[in-house]
Amino acid sequence: MSRLESATTEDHLRRRKECAASAWLTALGSAFLLGPALLSGGGGLLQAAAANPVAVDPAAETREVEAWRARRAASLTSENGWLTLVGLFWFKPGANSFGSAAGNALRLENPALASHAGTFTVSGREVRFHALSASGITHDGQPVDTLLLASDATGTPTVLASGSLRFYVIERAGHLGVRVRDLDNPHRRQFRGLDYFPVSTEWAVQARFEPYQPPRSIRIVNILGMEEDMPSPGALVFMRDGKEWRLDAVQEEPGAQELFVMFQDATSGHDTYGGGRFMYIPLPRDGVAQLDFNKAFNPPCALNDFATCPLPPLQNRLALRIDAGEKTYMQLRLSR
């Protein structure tokens, strides 16, 4: 999923116009087709990319992956990290009262929120918040009366505050809602780390990149059943156990310097999160992509109950055991 995380990933899902998506995907696909040698002679270089392992120094790979893991933990435990989430509410058209008391349309039982904090008013794609007097709601440190709210689809949502709480409008597949973070959430304050498979250079592999011409859109369904078409520039083809495996990749935004991959494998629902895992990779060069499954990570939904994660498309659900990367987040399971 830049990441509001992938995100990444799920705050990355942005509404795109079909014509614009087609234009940049066409340009992207052409950019990956570098040189006629890649398209002739049976595609020898591209076939080799899927057949040959990457020569990786084990010590260097371990250092790189450990540094990546440290950055991931720092992101998760930051003020904007996924471990701060405590609420997610979807709006209905018109007035949506918000507060900690029973009787509010949107109720969050939290001591940092007033019993009756205010009202979100939805008109088409526009959302306004009217705070009740003495509610303690602020924006940029100033008390709020009535304020037009930008959603996260703009890239810079309007963030309101109430004590340790932060809340803002999100948009998913045409639906508008409010996401709530608590900087003092016990999941954040008591975080004990993540569990991983041992680092293995066997899972740092080269893949053949097969660009889609013409460009394709793939239907992505999120954990709430919302659907959205996302543009895919091509497939990643790699060898394992004497067999070729394919993963459709997504480039989340025009000009992004990496591809986003959602996948399930034979560890899903056992050693790893049942909803699959995510991975970012550098843009392919000369028709070759570098995949490092040691950097496969859990979607936000594996860490809390208030995310809207995309699920891997059917073609990315592999009958292959990928014992690399992040394992199931046990701390959330034990807290339920």
Same domain, yes or no: 274 and 198: yes
Place of tokens 């569990």: 195
Domain membership of residue 7 (yes or no) is no
Token digits of residue 318: 């592999």
Of 248, 232, 209, 253, the closest CA to residue 9 belongs to: 253
Domain membership of residue 126 (yes or no) is yes
pLDDT of residue 258: 95
Domain boundary among 185, 209, 232: 185
Q: For every one of its 336 residues, what pLDDT tens digit does the chain have, with 9 covering 90 and above?
A: 334 344 444 444 333 333 333 333 334 444 443 333 333 334 444 454 554 556 789 999 999 999 999 999 999 999 999 999 999 999 999 999 999 999 999 999 999 999 999 999 999 999 999 999 999 999 999 999 999 999 999 999 999 999 999 999 999 989 999 999 999 999 999 999 999 999 999 999 999 999 999 879 999 999 999 999 998 999 999 999 999 999 999 988 888 899 999 999 999 999 999 999 999 999 999 999 999 999 999 999 999 999 999 999 999 999 999 999 999 998 655 454
Which structural domain range is residue 160 located in?
84-185
Q: Are 1 and 253 in contact (CB under 8 A)?
A: no
Strands 126-131 and 288-292: unpaired
Q: What's 153's domain CATH number?
A: 2.60.200.20
Strands 106-107 and 94-99: parallel
Domain membership of residue 229 (yes or no) is yes
Q: Are 156 and 11 in contact (CB under 8 A)?
A: no
Query: What is the DSSP track for 259-315?
Result: EEEEEB-TTBTTTB-TT-EEEEEEPPBTTEEEEEGGG-B--GGGT-SS--PBPPPGG
pLDDT of residue 325: 98
CB neighbours of 311 closer than 8 A, spacing ≥ 6? 220, 221, 222, 223, 262, 275, 276
Domain membership of residue 209 (yes or no) is yes
Domain boundary among 185, 213, 238: 185
Domain membership of residue 327 (yes or no) is yes
Same domain, yes or no: 43 and 92: no
Same domain, yes or no: 33 and 132: no
Same domain, yes or no: 129 and 64: no
CB neighbours of 237 closer than 8 A, spacing ≥ 6? 50, 207, 208, 209, 210, 244, 245, 246
Same domain, yes or no: 171 and 220: no
pLDDT digits (tens, 9 = 90+) for 165-180: 999 999 998 999 999 9
Containing 319, the helix (H) or strand (E) segment is none
Centre a 10 Å sphere on the Cβ of residue 192 and count the other Cβ atoms it contains: 7
Q: Please, what is the average pLDDT of the chain?
A: 86
Of 94, 93, 90, 74, the closest CA to residue 82 belongs to: 74
**3-class secondary structure per residue, 146-157:** EEEECCHHHCCC
Same domain, yes or no: 299 and 202: yes
pLDDT of residue 49: 52
Same domain, yes or no: 267 and 245: yes
Domain membership of residue 13 (yes or no) is no
Same domain, yes or no: 298 and 241: yes
Domain boundary among 152, 185, 218: 185
Domain membership of residue 88 (yes or no) is yes
pLDDT of residue 139: 97
Same domain, yes or no: 135 and 215: no
Of 239, 291, 294, 304, the closest CA to residue 261 belongs to: 291
pLDDT digits (tens, 9 = 90+) for 32-83: 433 333 333 344 444 545 545 567 899 999 999 999 999 999 999 999 999 9
Same domain, yes or no: 304 and 204: yes
How many folded domains does the chain comprise?
2
pLDDT of residue 61: 97
DSSP 54: P
Same domain, yes or no: 91 and 218: no
Domain membership of residue 299 (yes or no) is yes
Query: What is the DSSP track for 188-236?
Result: HHT-----BPPP-GGGEEEEEEEEEEEEEEEEEEBTTS-EEEEEEEEEE
Same domain, yes or no: 65 and 139: no
